[in-house]
Amino acid sequence: MRAVYLDNNATTRVAPEVVAAMLPCLTEDFGNPSSVHDFGATSRLALKEARERVRALLGAAFREEILFTSGGTEADNTAILGALEATDERNEIVVSAVEHPAVLALCSHLERTRHVKVHRIPVDALGGLDRARYRAALSRRVALASIMWANNETGVVFPVEELAEEAKAVGALFHTDAVQAVGRLPIALRGTAIDMLSLSAHKLHGPKGVGALYVRRGAPFRSLMLGGNQERGRRGGTENTPGIVGLGKAAEMATSRLRGDAARMRALRDRLEASLLGQIQGSFVLGDVERRLPNTSAIVCEGAEADAIVLLLNRVGVAASSGAACSAGSPAPSHVVRAMSVLAAVAAGATRFSLSRDNDDDDIDRVIETLPLIVERLRARSHAPETAVASRSAEPAYA
Ligand SMILES: *Cc1c(COP(=O)(O)O)cnc(C)c1O
């Protein structure tokens, strides 16, 4: 049975073309980009080409605005810490309540250790940002607003261009974690008020452990990694040339394929949703279906826990994810689901299907054929008193 991979918001398959582009950097073209000899020059050229490809994907004005990092997490951390340091008379940060842990964990840390005031802006039941609360939090005390472009659990898209304008009006910097948006939505940074943007290669068919931070020319910036003069003195450490070249190739492919891939994913995703919602009573899509990534679907099935669904789907060869983070065997809904305050979703969690350009109709058919039965089975169990306790324990209960 062929495995069906529908967890592309967690990570994507490295495209074969990306592997092919990386191979020379792992073999003959191993030079240090800082070296003066030809080995160095070859690597420098490869970095330049990759930077240009990422610039093009983002619609940024200048290649020098792209800073390579070890991934989305480092890009987010660099943006937030750098903004605080560069504007040290300002000591407040504005974020949404549904940011990735790469942002939220750092904010909590800064609150505890540096007495930074963090405004966590709530979302409504559709996952949309409370715009009035956002505006109210912005002031001359705010160093940075950091709002994600698209949410990783629901796919809900925030109006970051408008939010950036509002931040700019009070002199605050604006950063967006666009890890889920890059390669899935058209992006044109030139002319926007966005100062910084994070992306990660492994979410767009590139390798893990590499990403980039866009820093608008002229925006105040402080390095996170202090060391050599790599990346124009903005990030010390010998460049991850194979990874960066892989990111560049992935960016080039995303630029040329974006529209077609997005349309295909959207059609598959919409067919999946229409069929599941039609077959499964008491099921619904979590989040604003109109303002969403084309590849993501978070489905709530009342009375059937998403964690259990994910385990049973895995047995029929389908890789999906539950918004729930399992801690010590007790499934609790994620901060994103809780922030939306949809009762049925908080109780059962949401099953996330996230597609890529690699998915096809057969993949969707597998879910359509199996999920309704899985939900039926779980609901029957939760109604049978003798299994109610067992179904709360870990994996073997669903044997
Ligand atoms: C995956 C992800 C990250 C983290 O990126 P890494 O490259 O894995 O560090 C950050 N933000 C969002 C929204 C993500 O989906």
Per-residue pLDDT at 218? 95
Q: Rounded to the nearest whole angstrom, what is the distance from the C-alpha of residue 331 to the centroid of ligand 1?
A: 22
**Mean pLDDT, rounded, for 367-394:** 76
Whether residue 387 is predicted with pLDDT greater than 50 in this model: the reply is no
Instruction: Give pTM, 2 decimals.
Output: 0.94
Write out the two tokens for 330.
Answer: 């007790």
Residue 154 Cβ inside 6 Å of ligand 1? The answer reads: no
Per-residue pLDDT at 393? 42
Q: Cα separations (Å) of 110 from 22, 103, 113, 213?
A: 37, 11, 5, 20
Q: In whole numbers, what is the pLDDT of the chain averaged over residues? A: 94
Closest ligand 1 atom to Cα of 202? 7
Q: Rounded to the nearest whole angstrom, what is the distance from the C-alpha of residue 375 to the centroid of ligand 1?
A: 30
Nearest to 184 by CA among 147, 148, 149: 149
Query: What confidence category does residue 382 fall into, taking pLDDT thresholds of 50, 70 and 90?
Result: confident
Closest-CA residue, ligand 1 atom 4, reads: 72
Whether residue 396 is predicted with pLDDT greater than 70 in this model: the reply is no
- Burial class of residue 191 in the structure, from the number of CB atoms within 10 Å of its CB (0-12 exposed, 13-18 middle, 19+ buried): exposed
Burial 160-182 (b: 16+ CB within 10 A, else e): bbebbebbbebebbbbbbbbbbb
Whether residue 394 is predicted with pLDDT greater than 50 in this model: the reply is no
Per-residue pLDDT at 295? 98
Beta strand 211-215 with 66-69 is antiparallel
Residue 73 Cβ inside 6 Å of ligand 1? The answer reads: yes
Query: What confidence category does residue 392 fall into, taking pLDDT thresholds of 50, 70 and 90?
Result: very low
**Mean pLDDT, rounded, for 196-222:** 97
Mutate to test the pocket of ligand 1, among 77, 148, 196, 203 (most ligand atoms within 8 A of CB): 203
Whether residue 326 is predicted with pLDDT greater than 90 in this model: the reply is no
Per-residue pLDDT at 366? 98
pLDDT by residue (tens digit) across 59-78? 999 999 999 999 999 999 99
**Mean pLDDT, rounded, for 375-382:** 93
Note whether 4-10+258-391 and 16-254 share their fold: no
Closest ligand 1 atom to Cα of 11? 1
Whether residue 330 is predicted with pLDDT greater than 90 in this model: the reply is no
Write out the two tokens for 250.
Answer: 């992935």
Q: Rounded to the nearest whole angstrom, what is the distance from the C-alpha of residue 365 to the centroid of ligand 1?
A: 29
pLDDT by residue (tens digit) across 252-292? 999 999 999 999 999 999 999 999 999 999 999 999 999 99
Residue 102 Cβ inside 6 Å of ligand 1? The answer reads: yes
Closest-CA residue, ligand 1 atom 3, reads: 72
Q: Which CATH architecture has domain 16-254?
A: 3-Layer(aba) Sandwich (3.40)
Whether residue 193 is predicted with pLDDT greater than 60 in this model: the reply is yes
Whether residue 384 is predicted with pLDDT greater than 90 in this model: the reply is no
pLDDT by residue (tens digit) across 107-158? 999 999 999 999 999 999 999 999 999 999 999 999 999 999 999 999 999 9
**Mean pLDDT, rounded, for 355-379:** 98
Q: What percent of the chain has pLDDT over 90?
A: 91
Whether residue 329 is predicted with pLDDT greater than 60 in this model: the reply is no
Q: Rounded to the nearest whole angstrom, what is the distance from the C-alpha of residue 29 to the centroid of ligand 1?
A: 29
Per-residue pLDDT at 144? 98
For residue 227, count other CB atoms closer than 10 A to its CB. 11
Closest ligand 1 atom to Cα of 76? 10
Whether residue 223 is predicted with pLDDT greater than 50 in this model: the reply is yes
Sheet harboring 283-285: ordered strands across? 283-285, 296-301, 351-354, 321-322
Q: Rounded to the nearest whole angstrom, what is the distance from the C-alpha of residue 348 to the centroid of ligand 1?
A: 25
Residue 247 Cβ inside 6 Å of ligand 1? The answer reads: no
Mutate to test the pocket of ligand 1, among 9, 11, 70, 73 (most ligand atoms within 8 A of CB): 73
Catalytic residues: 326
Domain range annotation of the chain: 4-10+258-391, 16-254
Q: What CATH number does domain 4-10+258-391 carry, 2.40.50.100, 3.90.1150.10, 3.40.50.720, 4.10.490.10?
A: 3.90.1150.10
Residues in the chain: 399
Closest ligand 1 atom to Cα of 208? 7
**Mean pLDDT, rounded, for 208-232:** 96
Query: What confidence category does residue 391 fall into, taking pLDDT thresholds of 50, 70 and 90?
Result: very low
